[in-house]
Chains A and B, each alone.
Chain A
Amino acid sequence: MTVIVGLEIHCQLDTATKLFCGCSTDYRDDLPNSHVCPVCLGLPGSLPKVNRKAVEYALMVAKALNCEVPEESEFARKNYFYPDLDKGFQITQYDKPLAVWGYLDIEGDEGEKRVRITRVHMEEDPGRLVHKGGADRPKYTLVDYNRAGIPLIEIVTEPDLRSPKEARRFLNKLRATLEYLGVFDSEKEGSLRVDANISIKGSERVEVKNITSYKGVEKALTFEVTRQKNLIRRGQKIERETRHYLEARGVTQAGRSKEQEHDYRYFPEPDLRPLRVKSWLDNIVLPELPDARRERFMADYGCSLNHARTLTGELKLANCFEKVVASDKRGLSPLAATWIADTLIGELNYRDMNLDRIEPAAVTGLVLLLKAGTITDKSGVEVLRIMLDQQLKGEAAETPDAIVKRQNLAKTAGDTGAITAAIEEAINENPKALDDYRAGKGGALNFLVGQVMKKTRGKADPGELNRMLTEALKRREA
């Protein structure tokens, strides 16, 4: 059963002012209805005026997504009645969008894959609704128009994605691209919203609305794929419908069957003039985008494809990596790539921490200690954890060097006496392991390595320990 997915992604453009008025877009920590003016409140007689920067940003996106920009585009009114719309219509683009027919290459389920982009257009964000009186039986609605008029771009893909995982990968790549362009801030709450069209080949298409997180896309689609496949297995028909994703429960739910019939009655916005911005494309110099940076990371730093992909998959991560290795590109890169792409990300995720919370210099310090062989990998993890926990608790940040000293984590290199003693102790305490070793059970050696590590608190160099332990065991055999 082939899964077919297409996405419609709304992203807030990171301009200083709204799309059609000079109200600030920096509303998230402020009182409701304190970032509004006659224009974005839809007061009678007010008129919209297009933000040049929003057009420039949208064009940068269009260029980065390899789109065609038609000679002329225009804004249109999408008419429907809802209290989050201050004017009773949304100003968007309809039959003359800013850009059409582009693509974005992603790492698909079966290798590199080109996902076609149908269109990119600009529109205004509606206001925010708060339903009072409980989710099940709302009594009335409260409306905040601070968000109304924030510039959005809508990016629509062709139905080229074949799994929830591919959809997520596409989204991650798109996010990275927009961040590299400097037109989007993925960390702002609600800055991205996704609607997904999903079907099993041969069946009707279902639209899933209201996905507001990157992880949510994969979850919502996985739920929906399972639901649809189960229906088909049971011989039931899939209905063409719109479903809503409930983030908290991870499920999709059918919309009200008797929702208002939609006929948006689009027509050109008479208060705005058309755009002719195709020629602007020539003046847009795109920054280095994720693919180019990935190639550069492989060429300049010798990163593996996987590491390069991970590191360049987020702007901040890529920037962090380059800062960490700045002092000694080739020397530090192999270790830094592993430690950032594998260990650091894992530890940050575990703590639900943001990359901003750690100084690249601290990571450099840690990598230098590892490269010099001062500490073992195990101790390295220990140091990293201490650094992150200090950040998390708001304690004074120690340098990796200071942590190693305070915790006495330096490798016991040269101090073979201590290791020999620990080995002897471990073997004596675990006669069964010795028997197993003699019986040729490979697991026994690893078990004993673990025991010795415990006794030396991870400071023993694993290579040296292995050699010494094997010798000790051989001696016992003799």
Chain B
Amino acid sequence: MQPSRQGGIIGMITERDTEHIGQLADIAIHREELASFTSRFNEILEYFDLLDQVEVVEEVEERAYNILREDEVTPSLSQEEALSNAPGNEDGFFKAPRVM
């Protein structure tokens, strides 16, 4: 997906772009929300353009590396505990919508 930001005004995102972003983010946007989401996005993205002026002054060293744990088994949840918050389950499996 390549939202164009080439809509009415150069550099602005369009309602179609907003729909695309919704698709990519897997969030449904209802028709009546499109206009307001789009105009808010444009205000915010315009503000984000401040980042265009950023140049790296100096690299700051990372503070920690190689944070690791040993390969030792710790107790798992029981199947019952694992499923305790699941809204749907069957034969010990979680239930999800079909993917095909």
Min CB gap B82→A, angstroms: 5
Given contacts A81-B26, A261-B1, contact A272 B67 (CB under 8 A): yes
Determine whether B56 belongs to the interface, using a CB cutoff of 8 Å to chain A. no
Determine whether B30 belongs to the interface, using a CB cutoff of 8 Å to chain A. no
Determine whether B94 belongs to the interface, using a CB cutoff of 8 Å to chain A. yes
Q: Cβ of B94: which chain A residues have Cβ within 8 Å of it? A: 33, 83, 142-145
Q: Cβ of B72: which chain A residues have Cβ within 8 Å of it? A: 16-17, 22
Contact indicator A55/B68 (Cβ below 8 Å): yes
B interface residue numbers (CB < 8 A to A): 1, 23-24, 26, 62, 64-79, 82-83, 90-100
Distance A17 CA – B73 CA, assembled complex (angstroms): 6
Given contacts A34-B78, A37-B76, A274-B62, contact A17 B71 (CB under 8 A): yes
Contact indicator A141/B65 (Cβ below 8 Å): no
Given contacts A32-B93, A144-B93, contact A129 B76 (CB under 8 A): no
* Contact flags A21-39 to B (C-beta < 8 A → 1, else 0): 1111000000111111110
Distance A34 CA – B76 CA, assembled complex (angstroms): 7
How many A residues touch B, CB cutoff 8 Å?
A: 49
Distance A33 CA – B86 CA, assembled complex (angstroms): 12
Distance A21 CA – B71 CA, assembled complex (angstroms): 9
Contact indicator A24/B76 (Cβ below 8 Å): yes
Contact indicator B77/A37 (Cβ below 8 Å): yes
Q: Cβ of B74: which chain A residues have Cβ within 8 Å of it? A: 17, 21-23, 37
Contact indicator B100/A131 (Cβ below 8 Å): yes
Q: Is the interface of A mostly helix, strand, loop or mixed?
A: loop
Residues of chain A in range 361-420 having any CB-CB distance to chain B below 8 Å: none
Contact indicator B96/A273 (Cβ below 8 Å): no
Given contacts A16-B73, A24-B76, contact A33 B68 (CB under 8 A): no
Residues of chain A in range 98-149 having any CB-CB distance to chain B below 8 Å: 129-133, 138-145
Contact indicator B82/A41 (Cβ below 8 Å): yes
- Additional A-B contact list (17), CB under 8 Å, known A23-B73, A24-B76, A142-B95: A21-B74, A22-B73, A22-B74, A36-B76, A36-B77, A50-B67, A53-B70, A82-B99, A131-B98, A133-B98, A138-B98, A138-B99, A139-B98, A141-B96, A142-B93, A273-B66, A275-B66
Determine whether A15 belongs to the interface, using a CB cutoff of 8 Å to chain B. yes
Q: Cβ of B79: which chain A residues have Cβ within 8 Å of it? A: 31-34
Distance A310 CA – B75 CA, assembled complex (angstroms): 42
Distance A198 CA – B30 CA, assembled complex (angstroms): 42
Contact indicator B100/A49 (Cβ below 8 Å): no
* Contact flags A71-100 to B (C-beta < 8 A → 1, else 0): 010000000011100000000000000000
Distance A129 CA – B96 CA, assembled complex (angstroms): 9
Determine whether A187 belongs to the interface, using a CB cutoff of 8 Å to chain B. no
Which chain B residue has the least Cβ–Cβ distance from A53?
B71
Which chain A residue has the least Cβ–Cβ distance from B20?
A261
Min CB gap A39→B, angstroms: 10
Q: Cβ of B95: which chain A residues have Cβ within 8 Å of it? A: 140-143
Determine whether A441 belongs to the interface, using a CB cutoff of 8 Å to chain B. no
Distance A143 CA – B71 CA, assembled complex (angstroms): 26
Nearest 9 CB-CB pairings of A with B: A22-B74, A53-B71, A142-B93, A83-B96, A52-B68, A143-B94, A32-B92, A276-B65, A141-B96
Distance A152 CA – B70 CA, assembled complex (angstroms): 17
Determine whether A263 belongs to the interface, using a CB cutoff of 8 Å to chain B. yes
Q: Cβ of B69: which chain A residues have Cβ within 8 Å of it? A: 22, 49-52
